[in-house]
Chains A and B, each alone.
Chain A
Amino acid sequence: MTARYSVGIDLGTTHCVLSYVDLEAGDDQVVLDVLAIPQLTGPGTIEDKAQLPSFTYLAHPAEIAEGATALPWTGNPEYLVGEIARNLGGKTPIRLVSSAKSWLCHAGVDCKQAILPVEAPEDVTKISPFAASKAYLQHLRDAWNHRFPEHALQDQDVTITVPASFDPAARELTVEAARAVGLGQAVLLEEPQAALYSWIENSEGDWRNHVQIGDVILVADIGGGTTDLSLIAVTEQDGNLQLTRVAVGDHILLGGDNMDLALAYTVKAKLEQDSGKRLESWQLQALTHACREAKEKLFNQPELSSMPLVVASRGSSLIGGTFRTELTRDELNRVLVEGFLPWVPVEERPVVRPRSGLRTAGLPYAQDAGITRHLAAFLSRQKEATGELPDHVLPEHASFLHPTAVLFNGGVLKAGLMAERLMQILNNWLEAEQAAPARLLQGADLDLAVARGAAYYGFVRKGKGVRIKGGTAAAYYVGIESSMPAVPGLPAEIEALCIAPFGMEEGSEQELPNDEFGLIIGEPVRFRFFGSKTRRDDAVGVRLEYWQDDELEELEEIEITLPEEGRHAGDIVPVHLSVAVTEVGTLELKAVSKRDQQRWKIEFDVRAGDA
């Protein structure tokens, strides 16, 4: 059965959006729609909304009346997701699962283990980050199938977006979650690429007039929970413009939610100083909501100098228990603009404090809120990103990669003040190195672009538009203990063996030429696993004996267990490794027996931590 629709799913940290294109609508005419997702907004009430908040609420059995959680397609959903989860969880945070997506990319955690919510007391049945992601996908699938009963989502072209900074294990988990809800055909697309696709689609063919050969587009995506940076170069092949994604940034857990919280804490401090009373946690939460609204008003209406903030009492006496304060433009500028987009030179780097020994189990939030510092670090680190492209020559003295165009995405940059500030700082850096200022690509829809771009990607995959080339955004290595006599007190030296080069294309496969490993049957064997976003020239089979600390990033270990089928436990089988990038966009590691060409899959998700 051929797919009628190309469906894009933005599986976001704070919101999910589903967008779709009718592939039979007519000649290259792209009509994008966003699905209105029916969801519970409170017990017993269902509303259609374009966004499904990525929250899961684990309700107590006595908490909700029977039948009050019915959805149009099921009387009794397994988990409460969407608006109702966010609403109920606001008052009962111990039962609220949020940011499941960020956990997928969190090293040291087994994502299939029931660990969320982290703070939940014992009698709350926790769920795994994987199960939460699956629940959002399942809700989206059911909503689609309810809307289009004759075109089941399982039969459509589905593209799911992931952060460009997702490591192979997180990508694999996303695909697995999709498979678990019947979407085995889904392919992955990096979010910044999706944003650029959306911009291309939006320009209705005019995009070629807005970029030229030699351009480097910086895609800055500052969403609710994460900041994602990518660089895409415009090149030429056979007279046609081509787009190549040349670099991606790290997974930075920093976004709009941090900003609202920062404002709320500022106002809280002011209030507590003035009144001498301590704010309770529900008041802080109400204040955060009020700050978000005030922030948007102040950003949208430049003539306002302050916005009143009101926190109502929880009891039925509204007037008596309400307190009032205000958020001034000065505070907004100081906290958001100076705090998150500080005016720094390009040499500055994010501050990294050593983590305290007693680290609570939580997400590794960015320690430095200065997004501009993260940007400076990214651009400097990726100075060589376009080194091999003929039309992209950086001046000798350049200390960082010079972007020539910028595409924004994510809710934070809807605020004109923030977007302008970011452009000013970037252009200031460029000016200091006598480079032309970067221009802002206009016409992006910052909230829905990722889902729309993903739906458009299904169209592109059919050969109907320009496709961004990219391949893997990193080179991958396994750690091998070098054979030298053991020295007491020193850990064995490690060599890194390159198993997948940078920019390996989807649907390609490479085998390790010479290296052989002896694997013991029936026993799990673990390898240390590394990725590098900067080493572009290492070919498969290269052994690194020495590298700089910031070049290679250690990822979670990978594990292989050879089954005993037809062999004796304890036997040693010589194998070599083979790496493929699947059409879906995941990395696949296999061990291939030298004797009979038998193949075994190597698992990524062995994040049992140190246990």
Chain B
Amino acid sequence: MNTYTIDLSLRPTTFDLWHVCLAGTAALLALILIVVLVSVLLGMRRCKSAAPAVVAPAPAPQPEVKIVEKIVEVEKIVQAPAPEPVVLKEATPDAALQLLSLLQKEARFIDFIKEDVSAFSDAEIGAAARVVHQGCSKAVSEHFTLAPVSKDPEGNRVTLNKGFDAASFRLTGNIVGEAPFTGTLVHKGWQVTDLRLPKLTEGHNAKIVAPAEVEL
């Protein structure tokens, strides 16, 4: 039997097989340690980034609202188009559809113009025209404030000074010479001074100007 003594002052002088195995094992353990440490670190980082996603409250449900589209376009009623438009504005279809829908709802406007009037007597058409007139008047006065462009009574002589708004006043007839122009007021003109079109919810299909009605 071998007896082993411990002497710490001794130093190996030969790099033998034992030492090769020893060094190899140390290197292997160090490698494993490094791998474990790295994977732990990575894991922790991932946890950190995942954790808030779990804890944070779901984004507060935005009130699915705010829906309302503003319709800006005004239907021009009497005003003449500017002579040389540089940029052409595209009318938003929704406003036009909305107006159509209002006129149909209040005045049965589309029903009236879609119907063939030739088969009916004037009295019958007259009765229906009352519905249309009353309703149109209600729809228009509810949603538009109208005012005449010119305050003068029709038929009066009016004078337009230099620099008058050619969009508001249209000259006709014998247009010669320079301003001021004096002529007869044939039509007082109309302008919308205030507009109150309904706002629409986001999903609203404005193209349905009147839904089909089914009575149960």
Interface residues of A (CB under 8 A from B): 38, 41-48, 65-76, 91, 293, 308, 310, 312, 314, 316-320, 322-324
B64 to chain A, nearest CB (A): 4
Please provide the chain B residues from 45 to 86 with a CB less than 8 Å away from any CB of chain A in the complex.
63-68
4 nearest CB pairs, A to B: A44-B204, A75-B64, A324-B127, A45-B198
Q: Which of B11-19, B111-119, B151-159, B169-177 contacts A (4 or more CB under 8 A)?
A: B111-119
Closest chain A residue, CB of each to CB of B199: A46
In contact, B68 and A46 (Cβ under 8 angstroms)? yes
In contact, A70 and B131 (Cβ under 8 angstroms)? no
Query: Contacts of A47 on B, CB cut-off 8 Å?
Result: 196, 198-199
Interface centre among B98, B203, B204 (most CB of A within 10 A): B204
Given contacts A45-B198, A312-B131, A319-B125, contact A65 B111 (CB under 8 A): no
Please provide the chain B residues from 93 to 137 with a CB less than 8 Å away from any CB of chain A in the complex.
98, 105, 108, 111-112, 114-115, 117, 120, 124-125, 127-128, 130-132, 134
Please provide the chain B residues from 160 to 216 with a CB less than 8 Å away from any CB of chain A in the complex.
196, 198-205, 213
Query: Contacts of B200 on A, CB cut-off 8 Å?
Result: 44-46
Query: Contacts of A293 on B, CB cut-off 8 Å?
Result: 134
Interface centre among A38, A41, A65, A312 (most CB of B within 10 A): A312
Kindly list 11 other residue pairs between chains A and B, CB separation below 8 angstroms, not including A317-B115, A319-B115.
A45-B204, A46-B68, A46-B200, A74-B63, A74-B65, A75-B65, A310-B128, A312-B131, A316-B114, A318-B112, A319-B127
In contact, A71 and B117 (Cβ under 8 angstroms)? no
Complex Cα spacing A314 to B64, Å? 35
Closest chain B residue, CB of each to CB of A41: B198
In contact, A312 and B108 (Cβ under 8 angstroms)? yes
Query: Contacts of A308 on B, CB cut-off 8 Å?
Result: 127, 130
Given contacts A45-B204, A46-B199, A310-B130, contact A320 B120 (CB under 8 A): yes
A447 to chain B, nearest CB (A): 16
Closest chain A residue, CB of each to CB of B126: A324
Given contacts A72-B66, A318-B115, contact A310 B127 (CB under 8 A): yes
Given contacts A72-B65, A310-B131, contact A67 B120 (CB under 8 A): no
Closest chain A residue, CB of each to CB of B132: A318
Complex Cα spacing A244 to B200, Å? 49
15 contacts between A and B (CB under 8 A): A45-B204, A46-B198, A46-B201, A67-B201, A67-B202, A68-B204, A70-B64, A71-B65, A72-B66, A314-B213, A316-B114, A317-B111, A318-B128, A319-B125, A324-B130
Interface centre among A42, A91, A293 (most CB of B within 10 A): A42
In contact, B131 and A68 (Cβ under 8 angstroms)? no
Query: Contacts of B124 on A, CB cut-off 8 Å?
Result: 319-320, 322
In contact, B65 and A70 (Cβ under 8 angstroms)? yes
Query: Contacts of A38 on B, CB cut-off 8 Å?
Result: 199
Contact of A44 among B114, B130, B203 (CB under 8 A): B203
B136 to chain A, nearest CB (A): 13
Query: Contacts of B67 on A, CB cut-off 8 Å?
Result: 67, 70, 72
Closest chain B residue, CB of each to CB of A71: B65
Contact of B117 among A44, A312, A319 (CB under 8 A): A319
Query: Contacts of B112 on A, CB cut-off 8 Å?
Result: 318-319
Query: Contacts of A69 on B, CB cut-off 8 Å?
Result: 201
B33 to chain A, nearest CB (A): 57
Complex Cα spacing A302 to B111, Å? 33
Closest chain B residue, CB of each to CB of A45: B198
Complex Cα spacing A319 to B205, Å? 28
In contact, B128 and A65 (Cβ under 8 angstroms)? no
Query: Contacts of B127 on A, CB cut-off 8 Å?
Result: 308, 310, 319, 322-324
Contact of B108 among A41, A42, A74, A318 (CB under 8 A): A318
Complex Cα spacing A534 to B105, Å? 52
A61 to chain B, nearest CB (A): 14
In contact, B128 and A319 (Cβ under 8 angstroms)? yes
Query: Contacts of A317 on B, CB cut-off 8 Å?
Result: 111, 115
Given contacts A318-B108, A318-B111, A319-B124, contact A67 B198 (CB under 8 A): no
B115 to chain A, nearest CB (A): 5
Given contacts A47-B199, A310-B128, A320-B120, contact A72 B68 (CB under 8 A): yes
In contact, B63 and A66 (Cβ under 8 angstroms)? no
Given contacts A318-B108, A319-B120, contact A312 B201 (CB under 8 A): no
Complex Cα spacing A70 to B117, Å? 40
Interface string of B15-34 (1 = CB under 8 A from A): 00000000000000000000
B117 to chain A, nearest CB (A): 7
Complex Cα spacing A317 to B116, Å? 9
In contact, B203 and A312 (Cβ under 8 angstroms)? no
Closest chain A residue, CB of each to CB of B113: A318
In contact, B128 and A73 (Cβ under 8 angstroms)? no
Query: Contacts of A45 on B, CB cut-off 8 Å?
Result: 98, 198-201, 204
Closest chain B residue, CB of each to CB of A146: B65
Complex Cα spacing A66 to B204, Å? 9
Query: Contacts of B204 on A, CB cut-off 8 Å?
Result: 43-45, 68
Closest chain A residue, CB of each to CB of B211: A43
In contact, B115 and A66 (Cβ under 8 angstroms)? no
B201 to chain A, nearest CB (A): 5
A605 to chain B, nearest CB (A): 34
Closest chain B residue, CB of each to CB of A66: B203
Complex Cα spacing A246 to B152, Å? 55
Closest chain B residue, CB of each to CB of A42: B105
Closest chain A residue, CB of each to CB of B212: A316
Query: Contacts of B64 on A, CB cut-off 8 Å?
Result: 67, 70, 75-76
Complex Cα spacing A76 to B204, Å? 14
Contact of A48 among B105, B132, B196, B201 (CB under 8 A): B196
A146 to chain B, nearest CB (A): 10
Complex Cα spacing A42 to B134, Å? 20
Complex Cα spacing A75 to B134, Å? 35
Closest chain B residue, CB of each to CB of A309: B130
Closest chain A residue, CB of each to CB of B202: A67
Closest chain B residue, CB of each to CB of A69: B201
Query: Contacts of B111 on A, CB cut-off 8 Å?
Result: 316-318
A205 to chain B, nearest CB (A): 32
Complex Cα spacing A414 to B145, Å? 24
